[in-house]
A and B are shown apart, each in its own frame.
Chain A
């Protein structure tokens, strides 16, 4: 007898409808599986058969053929087990699903004991099922909370294979959609706060500006000056994630298998800090079956690269295109995969190899060595860093600091106000932040007076700046003015922005 069960295969951040067909016919007892299967899918044959035996089903001694259609797409992953089992059972007439069979999607991996094992990528797969018009989704109980985040589709979690029979009886309750509840609970507090940072006014200020205009930020400073400490706190001053953003972030974490079972919605902005030995593929994503890299895991959050010059050159260069397009595209034979990569890049580095330049009592690096160290970072990457700020060494009084420091919430309020201004200004243009303005937009939105023009010209001649830094300075000045709540860029704003130029501008001469 022929039977057909629906399931979803994961391709990057997209789900593809797969039909599991099963036919039981007379012939030598054998079970074969076809449909361009990866090895983990082929192994499902033994898993499913044993799980069924241990659940108490005995398969008829017949020739059984299973096909995963469409057969020209390679299937990977273990989420097909449950669908295969359901197809076998219905085909052998051991299970009757009735009308449910057509309108249901089955997802999940089976253990040999018949228990259902959670799989990753549920959020994406259930979303795809809903988009394809299915009304019910059956999946492992451990994945139920995550699946239920998708509204408009009934999600039923199963503990084990024997519960399949209860499906048609309608006694299994659908998992409740907890999305509102989770959003309410958002007060889940950040574990770090800006109030813990003493002193470092220039760095704090740069972090605030960068957060407000979504500028990329580079910290230069000696070891122990608090670069990492501040970077870690930047997500706490970014505006809170919207529901849409939260779902997008959660989807990426879901396919990477990094989502918590109980709280499957990520509400905090991600902060990813990969070690500098990371490979280019781990950073931007890749692999035979492409998986999101650190830059996608940091989507809508902060990607922090500590010890920037120590990163492999190839890894850093691989970042350039995603930083520009805010999406990673990876092409494979199976097709092209796209992972979002909308990050704020924060990087930290020492001023020289020993880390103490220009303190000549500690630093013995020659100027050529200092230059060589800075040159390890390519110009195109430096060009993408809008703000660059140097960290002074921390003194004792700052460590003990009795002064009360501003906390993240009050900084965030200012950042959010500046974001509001940007949203209003750029309404309908598709630009979201000041950092995303093109040369033409800069001309349009960063108007300066004749006096300021003269000032900027003088600075340019004196410092020998490039056209690119001209735009960068104006963009940063725009954000500084936005933080003040002013529509006009003042001379002070420009002067401050000039101070944030990167080390490529030869001011270390």
Chain B
């Protein structure tokens, strides 16, 4: 057995009590020394699980090797593979399981969080920042939740720089509706969790998971958040960990933006476009050549309809009235614009700019 194996035993015993583990390691130097010591000095908190783990160490290691065969890897705090950004943190997870890869150390990383039931505006912005920042070579870190998280990650995964931190084991796809995204992330990004594979998604896992999201990020973007939002847990961690926080402004009175607007009032960075993120990271921003569709010229007829649209969903009736077109003609223009990727049909009668 080598140090890595003893570390696995120790991490399992420590669970989420990273402080305990660090204290023990500072006393004993290595996990092996701790394992071999019969004189157990630790607080009662992890002593019992450590003892039982000691008895079952072979089963424990066999299980880990089995996971590795399934493509689930594990790294411990002192491991060279362990993310540097996390290692500095006082409450860093003792070990990380991951499928795919971990965020590269040499690239800046951006956390994107927000409401689960987001608006069309939030969705379009999440997709914009996720897609654009990943295309610029940044890592996008999020929680693969419904709403903002999922949209940002789905947009980013195409460039490969998308990493999800889960509140359950990495072998479980939660929410189940994100199966396709999960598969893509395992393929070309990464799925990360400190929880042992097989751990179900329980409510109390998620606030703790958020510290890893902010910890892995150099900067945290809040896209849409209500006054009382789970995103603020991530924001609090980010501030504690010394990360910058930026918030996307919304309209005053819009419930879904009230949390973001308050963050701005409290001094968060104002997030308008990708250049803002680069500036906050002290990086040079270079406008990417926009590929394909978006640069396509609009015909005067299309442009007339395009001008009527906004980020907020607009109903067909309103568009009919404002454009003065017949329903057939308007439908045709809308379909063309949708085909060009300019607009999106939010529900059967509502359209918004993408």
Contacts and interface: CB of A to CB of B under 8 A. Distances in A.
Among A365, A499, A501, the most chain B Cβ lie within 10 Å of the Cβ of A499
B120 interface: yes
Interface stretch (B18-26, B202-210, B265-273, B344-352): B344-352
Contact of A358 (B120, B329, B334): B120
A498 B327 contact: no
A421 B326 CA distance: 22
Contacts of B119: 358, 360
A480 interface: yes
Interface in A452-491: 458-459, 462, 480, 490-491
Given A358-B346, A361-B256, A490 B328 contact: yes
B328 A202 contact: no
B317 A388 contact: no
Nearest to A458: B339
Contact of B326 (A492, A499, A503): A492
Contact of A492 (B117, B317, B321, B329): B329
A392 B177 contact: no
Contact of B347 (A201, A462, A496, A508): A508
Contacts of B334: 495, 499
A499 B316 contact: yes
Interface string B241-274: 0000000000000111000000000000000000
B331 A498 contact: yes
A368 interface: yes
A492 B332 contact: yes
Contacts of B326: 492
Contacts of A493: 328
A389 B318 CA distance: 14
B317 A392 contact: yes
Given A368-B175, A495-B328, A462 B338 contact: yes
A200 B318 CA distance: 9
A366 B116 contact: yes
B147 interface: yes
Interface string B65-100: 000000000000000000000000000000000000
B320 interface: yes
A495 B118 contact: no
B335 A498 contact: yes
Contacts of B200: none
A496 B346 CA distance: 17
B313 interface: yes
Given A367-B147, A368-B177, A501-B348, A360 B117 contact: yes
B347 A368 contact: no
Among A351, A367, A462, the most chain B Cβ lie within 10 Å of the Cβ of A367
B255 A361 contact: yes
Contact of A390 (B147, B315, B331): B315
Contacts of A458: 339
A390 B351 CA distance: 12
Given A360-B119, A367-B117, A496-B328, A459 B335 contact: yes
A202 B316 contact: yes
B152 to A, nearest CB: 15
Contacts of A389: 348-349
B342 interface: no
B254 A361 contact: yes
A258 to B, nearest CB: 36
A491 B328 CA distance: 8
Interface residues of A, number: 39
Interface in B132-177: 146-147, 175, 177
Contacts of B175: 368
Given A202-B320, A367-B146, A392 B349 contact: yes
B333 to A, nearest CB: 8
Contacts of B321: 201
Contact of B350 (A205, A358, A365): A358
Q: How large is the interface on B (under 10, 10 to 19, 20 to 34, 35 or more residues)?
A: 35 or more
Contacts of A360: 117-119, 255-256
Contacts of B327: 201-202, 205, 496, 499
A400 to B, nearest CB: 16
A359 to B, nearest CB: 8
A499 B350 CA distance: 11
A201 B323 CA distance: 13
A391 B350 CA distance: 10
B317 A201 contact: yes
Contact of A366 (B146, B254, B316, B347): B146
Nearest to B313: A358
Contacts of B315: 202, 390, 392
Interface in A385-410: 388-392
A390 B350 contact: yes
A194 interface: no
B345 A492 contact: no
Contacts of B254: 361
Interface in B26-58: none
Nearest to A360: B119
Nearest to A502: B348
Nearest to B345: A507
A133 B350 CA distance: 62
Contacts of B329: 492, 495
Interface string A351-373: 10000011011011111100000
A364 B256 CA distance: 10
A499 B337 CA distance: 14
Given A365-B117, A495-B331, A495-B335, A392 B318 contact: yes
A364 B315 CA distance: 20
A220 interface: yes
A360 B311 CA distance: 13
Nearest to B121: A360
Nearest to A481: B328
Contacts of A368: 146, 175, 177
Contact of B317 (A199, A361, A501, A502): A199
Contacts of A199: 317
Interface in B4-30: none
B6 to A, nearest CB: 43
Contacts of B118: 360
Interface string B305-316: 000000001011
A493 B330 CA distance: 11
Closest 8 CB pairs of A and B: A492-B328, A390-B349, A495-B332, A392-B315, A495-B331, A360-B119, A390-B348, A496-B328
Given A199-B317, A368-B146, 16 more contacts: A202-B315, A202-B320, A220-B348, A357-B347, A360-B119, A360-B255, A361-B256, A368-B175, A392-B317, A480-B328, A491-B332, A492-B326, A492-B329, A495-B328, A503-B348, A507-B345
18 contacts: A200-B317, A220-B348, A220-B349, A358-B119, A358-B313, A358-B350, A360-B118, A361-B254, A391-B349, A392-B349, A492-B331, A495-B329, A495-B334, A495-B335, A498-B331, A502-B348, A507-B345, A507-B347
Interface of A: 199-202, 205, 220, 351, 357-358, 360-361, 363-368, 388-392, 458-459, 462, 480, 490-493, 495-496, 498-499, 501-503, 507-508
Interface of B: 116-120, 146-147, 175, 177, 254-256, 313, 315-318, 320-321, 326-329, 331-332, 334-335, 338-339, 345-350
